[in-house]
Structure formats: structure tokens, C-alpha cells
Structure 1
Amino acid sequence: MKMSESQRIEAPRQKVWEALNDPDVLKAAIPGCQELTKSSDSEMEAKVLLKVGPVKATFGGKVSLEDLNPPESYRIVGEGSGGVAGFAKGAAVVRLEEDGPDATILHYDVDAQIGGKLAQLGARLIDSTAKRLAGEFFSTFGEIVAPSAPTEADAAAPEEAAAEGEAKKGWLGGLFGKKDEKVG
């Protein structure tokens, strides 16, 4: 399986680079990640719970970072096993391109192989799941690295939700023959 994508992140390249090397950020951003520990400056071990179609398994694996060129690029090489569910191994080249002073374009090219029950599921299901997981990772990663500033609409949301909740209470009370009563 091969996949190439790019993602714009609203943060300077150095900040994105640091986040890509921070196990806490990665653990929070990787879908299904249960554990992620850094065993050296260039090696990590992970445990990830994944569901691909009907197959759900916990994968344990190791990842190493190679060809480091901070803060521009590196190559991630890894492999993991999910027991009877199968295995995955592969590599990805990650490249960070500045997009003005406050944004970064993250490019990645993945080449991976899978085996076991996973390989029997079919290329379309594997590819769509891989794209969905990558999308979830980058969405979460982007929010962690560059949290969006609250807008006026966000500030009004709690008040609107409270008013909507009150309206539902009145509606539900009417449905069951009870009226909102004030104790005076």
C-alpha cells in the first residue's frame, strides 16, 4: 500500500517538528494509541488498538526515526504485530515545508505492507481505513499543535445550549403532562 498526502498546519515549522518528536503529542494524536514510549532519541515503542472492517486487534510495535534533518524531514520505519490479526511494516518519509512565518505544510509518503487476516480484507478496505486514520491523526495533531482560537460563535454556544436544554425540559414536561413549576 502506498499513500501520499499533505496537510497544512497553522503553526511554525519548528513547533510542528518538536510536536512530531514528542511522544505525548503523538500518543494523543494517534487513533487508538494506548501506549507510546520513547526508548531513545530516535526509537519509540507503541501499543495501538485498531479496527479494520471486522478485524479488531491490539498491535504492538517499534518505530525508529532515520535520516533526521531537523526541522525539515525524517524517515519513519516501523513494524508491528497484532497476533492472529496479522502484521504491518513499512516506512514513511515526512517533510515539513514552511508556508509563511506561521504555517507549515506537512508532506508524507507511506509505503507499507500487511499480512495475516488484515491482508485478506481487501485493498479497498485497507486503503480507506488507512486514509481515515491518517485524517483523524492530522486533524487531532493540528488541533494539539495549533489550537484554534475561540470565536464569538464558540462563546455564544454554551448560552444557546442552556436555552435549548430549558426548551427541551418544557417540551418533555408537556409530553408527560407535567409543567415547569416555580416554587415561590
Structure 2
Amino acid sequence: MQMTDSQRIEAPREKVWEALNDADVLKASIPGCEELIKHSDTELEAKVKLKVGPVKATFGGKVTLNDLDPPNGYKIDGEGSGGVAGFARGGATVRLEEDGPNATILHYDVDAKVGGKLAQLGARLIDSTAKRLAGEFFASFAQQVAPSPETETVSSSEQDQANGDASQDASSGEEKKGWLGGLFGGKKKQQADEDKLADVAE
């Protein structure tokens, strides 16, 4: 399986490079990643749960980073096993290209092989799944490195709406309190008047 593509990220190259070496960012970006342990600057261990067609499995594997050239890129070599589901091994070359002062083009070339039940699913299904997972990874990665203005705007609008709802609830509470206060206060005043009339009658 071979795959070549690129992704534009709205962040400086140095920031993208740091994110590519941040285990927390990678874990949040990898679809189905349950665990990602960084043993050193060049060795990581991951546990990923995936579904490829009818096959579901949890893959455990090791990843090694080679040919580090900060902040230009590196090469990834890895292999993982999903038990009876099969195995995957291969590598990828990642290259970062500046696109102005505040944007980066991330280029990647992937060459991988699969075996076991996965290999029986057919190249077309495996390729389409790999492209989908890669798309999900880079979309999530880009969102973490450089959150879109739309997301921030929506968050602000939701916060404003929440504040507005809270103010409305408080206002309603005051109105309710005033209404109830008037109701019970009126009853107390009526009771006091009745007591006075009783005293006069006696």
C-alpha cells in the first residue's frame, strides 16, 4: 500500500514540528488511539483500536523516528500486530515546507504492508480505509495545532448565549421571588387584618 498526499496547516513550521513530536497531540490525533507512550525522543509505543471493513481489532505496535531534521521533517518506521486480525508494517516520510510566515505544508509518503485477515480484504478496501484514517488524523492534528476561527467564534457565541440564559434565569427568579413574595406577603397582611378585626369585635 502506497499513499502520497499533503496537508496545509495554518501554523508556523516550528510549531508544527513541535506538535509532531508531542505525544499528547499525536494521541489525540490518531483515530482510535487508546494509548501512546513516548519512551524516548525517537521511540514510541501505541495501542490503537480500528475497524477495517468487517474486521475489528486492537493493534499494539512500536514506532521509531529516524533521519530527524528539525524543523524540516523525519522518517517513521513502525510495525503493529492485531492478533488474528493480522499485522501491519511500513514507514512514512514526513516533510514540512514553509508556506509564508504563518502556514506550513505537511507532505507525507507512506509505504506499508499488511498481512493476515487484513490482507484478505483486498487492496481497494485497505487503501480507502487508510486514506480515510489519514484524513481524520491530519484534520484533527491541524485543528489542535491551529484551531479554526470558526470554532473559536462558535465557542464565544455559545458562551454569550449561556451567559444570556443565566441572566434570564436570574431575572425570572427575581420575578418569581417577587411574585411569590407578594402572594405570601399579601396573605400575611390579610391574616393580620383579620386578627385586628377579631380583637375589635371582642
Structure with the greater alpha carbon radius of gyration = 2
Aligned to 2:48: 48
| Structure 1 segment 100-179 matched on structure 2, within 5 A | 100-149=100-149, 150-151=152-153, 155-156=156-157, 159=161
> Which consecutive segments of 4 or more residues in structure 1 shift more than 3 A?
153-159
Shift of 1:40: 1.2
Superposition TM-score, scaled by structure 2 size? 0.76
Let me know the Cα RMSD of the aligned residues: 1.9
Shift of 1:154: 5.8
Is the partner of 2:31 in helix, strand or coil?
coil
Which structure carries more strand by proportion?
Answer: 1
Shift of 1:41: 1.1
| Structure 1 segment 33-72 matched on structure 2, within 5 A | 33-72=33-72
Shift of 1:73: 1.3
Which structure carries more helix by proportion?
Answer: 2
Identical residues among aligned pairs (%)? 74
Is the partner of 1:142 in helix, strand or coil?
helix
Aligned to 2:76: 76
Shift of 1:90: 0.3
Unmatched runs of 5 consecutive residues or more in structure 2 = 166-175, 180-202
Superposition TM-score, scaled by structure 1 size? 0.84
Unmatched runs of 5 consecutive residues or more in structure 1 = 164-181
Aligned to 1:166: none
Shift of 1:30: 0.2
Tell me the number of residue pairs that the alignment of Structure 1 and Structure 2 aligns: 164
* 1:7 matches 2:21: no
Aligned to 2:191: none
